């Protein structure tokens, strides 16, 4: 019967149709998760970093049971005696991992004085949590704590005290910090209330200030030079379209690359940092320089009107411009009349378009009409009621304006940026 059931199971499973879901979405989800979790540490809550410190942790207490009378005042013992006496159950409350050093022997020291005083020291390497606020990155300063207390004894049974009121670093030259400058130490003592009781909590803060040398060379100086390079186009003739366009696009792409590189050196945070602000503003300056030439090229180009040309008589009283020109030849030849044909005139919006030759054009304002455009695009529109009480920009002088506006505004931005982040 068992064989019959197995045959029926195989037949039923072979008749089933298995349908596989499309893998396109699964692939996208996998890529997103792999990217997010590449440097993710689930042991740390958001805005928490970590630091590693190698310390000699020393504790001193008195145990009256260990008093002795002898000519020897101090007993120096090895680590084998540590397990034979009572020692405080001190824990590091914000440690992620902690390791004691055991090479070549356990790095522990135990001393007992004849009055029952005990000194216990050991060497530890601790990875501790440090809350990082990176709004001012890379000009940020941090105060990383190392918190310790008793694990099971409340303040009624054991009290921690600092040997000195203020803690000082023994030798600051031994501090090996590559990205930070060690600014000093400060210590506090507080009582923390928990469901198990009130505990004495000791905290020592390591004051750190980030070094800017790396970020200045890798990000700030290249961004500033790229912005300055984009201003070169203001001194290139507006007719050199390939040169100015290539320069503008190159600087925009360079800023995009610099912003990507700058973001890689920064932890994944959801807020804007000081470096993000600087790179973004530099990108806007470079992009604005490219748009400046696009505006200049668009408004200064001589566009031919689409309306039908009308041949009319001369509108201006300056008839001397169209005086027939006669060229005297040799006596054997007659005089040739070189009178030019009347120019073609076309109305375009509120302006008159004169076309005397194929490659030249002149615009003039019609009588009684106002040029409403903010930009004075026509060279001949130099007078009229449209200028009264209004500020207009000569589009042909846009490069001249940009040569002053862009450097001045960028200089003011840098002044506000550096003063605000470094001194305020």
Bridge partners (DSSP) of residue 209 are 141, 181
Pairing of strands 310-311, 344-348: antiparallel
Look up the CATH number of the domain holding residue 242. 1.20.58.390
**For range 170-193, the mean pLDDT:** 84
In a domain, 117, yes or no: yes
* Number of neighbouring beta carbons within 10 Å of residue 133: 13
CA dihedral of 391, 395, 398, 401, whole degrees rounded to 10 = -20
User: Would you say residue 304 has pLDDT above 60?
Assistant: no
The residue whose two tokens read 């007993």 is 75
User: Would you say residue 423 has pLDDT above 60?
Assistant: yes
Same domain membership, residue 238 and residue 205: no
Same domain membership, residue 149 and residue 279: no
pLDDT tens digits along 66-98: 999 988 999 999 888 898 999 999 999 999 999
| Mean pLDDT of the chain, nearest integer | 78
What distance, in Å, lies between the first and last C-alpha atoms of the chain?
A: 87
Query: Which residue did the predictor score with more confidence, 30 or 112?
Result: 112
How far is the C-alpha of 27 from the C-alpha of 387, rounded, in Å? 63
In a domain, 295, yes or no: yes
Same domain membership, residue 138 and residue 106: yes
Same domain membership, residue 263 and residue 203: no
Which residue from 281, 300, 290 is spatially nearest to 247, judged by alpha carbons?
A: 290
Same domain membership, residue 224 and residue 77: no
Query: Which has the minimum average pLDDT: 26-40, 130-144, 363-377?
Result: 363-377
Same domain membership, residue 79 and residue 157: yes
**For range 251-280, the mean pLDDT:** 90
In a domain, 104, yes or no: yes
Same domain membership, residue 416 and residue 270: yes
- Model pLDDT, residue 150: 96
User: Residue 267's pLDDT band (boundaries 50, 70, 90)?
Assistant: confident
Same domain membership, residue 174 and residue 97: yes
Same domain membership, residue 56 and residue 186: yes
pLDDT tens digits along 359-400: 444 444 444 444 444 444 444 454 554 444 445 557 778 999
Max mean pLDDT among 38-52, 339-353, 402-416 falls in: 402-416
In a domain, 400, yes or no: no
- The pTM (predicted TM-score) of the whole model is 0.68
Angle between helix 274-300 and 398-423 (nearest 10): 170
Same domain membership, residue 124 and residue 182: yes
- Model pLDDT, residue 79: 87
- Model pLDDT, residue 175: 72
Q: Where does a domain end: 211, 236, 257? A: 211
In a domain, 362, yes or no: no
User: Residue 416's pLDDT band (boundaries 50, 70, 90)?
Assistant: very high
Q: Where does a domain end: 211, 234, 262? A: 211
Max mean pLDDT among 32-36, 303-307, 308-312 falls in: 32-36
In a domain, 126, yes or no: yes
DSSP string, 287-355: HHHHHHHHHHHHHHS-PPP-SPPEE----SS-GGGGPPPEE---TTSPPEE-PPPPPEEEEETTEEEEE
Question: Residue 384: which region, alpha, beta or left (left: phi > 0; alpha: psi -120 to 50)?
Answer: left
Look up the CATH number of the domain holding residue 124. 2.70.170.10
In a domain, 42, yes or no: no
Same domain membership, residue 204 and residue 181: yes
Q: Where does a domain end: 176, 194, 211? A: 211
- Model pLDDT, residue 289: 97
In a domain, 367, yes or no: no
How far is the C-alpha of 133 from the C-alpha of 47, rounded, in Å? 7
User: Residue 169's pLDDT band (boundaries 50, 70, 90)?
Assistant: confident
For the chain, how many structural domains are there in total?
2
Same domain membership, residue 191 and residue 102: yes
Query: Which has the minimum average pLDDT: 110-114, 165-169, 304-308, 402-406?
Result: 304-308
User: Would you say residue 38 has pLDDT above 60?
Assistant: yes
User: Residue 346's pLDDT band (boundaries 50, 70, 90)?
Assistant: low
CA dihedral of 340, 346, 348, 353, whole degrees rounded to 10 = 0
Give the domain range for residue 287: 214-301+406-423
- Model pLDDT, residue 48: 60
């Amino acid at each position: 019967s068992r064989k019959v059931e197995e045959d029926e199971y195989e037949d039923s499973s072979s008749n089933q149709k298995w349908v596989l879901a499309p893998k396109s979405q699964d692939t996208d989800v996998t890529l997103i998760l792999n990217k997010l979790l590449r440097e993710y540490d689930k042991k740390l809550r958001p805005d928490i970093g970590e630091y590693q410190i190698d310390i000699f942790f020393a504790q001193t207490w008195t145990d009256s049971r260990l008093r002795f009378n002898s000519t020897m005042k101090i007993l120096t013992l090895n680590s084998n005696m540590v397990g034979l006496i009572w020692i405080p159950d001190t824990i590091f409350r914000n440690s992620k991992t902690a390791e004691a050093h055991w090479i070549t022997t356990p790095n522990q020291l135990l001393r007992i004085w004849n009055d029952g005083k005990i000194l216990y020291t050991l060497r530890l390497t601790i990875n501790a949590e440090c809350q990082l606020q990176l709004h001012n990155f890379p000009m940020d300063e941090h105060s990383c704590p190392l918190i310790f207390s008793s694990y099971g004894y409340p303040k009624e049974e054991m009290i921690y005290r600092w040997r000195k009121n203020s803690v000082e670093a023994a030798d600051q030259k031994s501090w090996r910090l590559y990205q930070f400058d060690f600014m000093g130490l400060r210590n506090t003592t507080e009582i923390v209330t928990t469901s198990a009781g009130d505990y004495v909590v000791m905290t020592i803060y390591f004051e750190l200030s980030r070094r800017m040398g790396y970020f200045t060379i890798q990000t700030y100086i290249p961004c500033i030079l790229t912005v300055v390079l984009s201003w070169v186009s203001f001194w290139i003739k507006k007719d050199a379209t390939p040169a100015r366009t290539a320069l503008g696009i190159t600087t925009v792409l360079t800023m995009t690359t610099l912003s990507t590189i700058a973001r890689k050196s920064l932890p994944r945070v959801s807020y804007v940092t000081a470096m993000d602000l600087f790179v973004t503003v530099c990108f806007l300056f470079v992009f604005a320089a490219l748009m400046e030439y696009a505006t200049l090229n668009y408004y200064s180009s001589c566009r031919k009107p689409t309306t039908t040309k009308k041949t009319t008589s001369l509108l201006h009283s300056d008839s001397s411009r169209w005086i027939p020109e006669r060229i005297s030849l040799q006596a054997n030849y007659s005089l040739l009349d070189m009178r030019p044909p009347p120019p073609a005139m076309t109305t375009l919006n509120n302006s008159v378009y004169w076309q005397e030759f194929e490659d030249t054009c002149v615009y003039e304002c019609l009588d009684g009409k106002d040029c409403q455009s903010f930009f004075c695009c026509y060279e001949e529109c130099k007078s009229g009621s449209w200028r009264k009480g209004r500020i207009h920009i000569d589009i042909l002088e846009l490069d001249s304006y940009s040569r002053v506006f862009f450097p001045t505004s960028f200089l003011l931005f840098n002044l506000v940026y550096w003063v605000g982040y470094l001194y305020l």
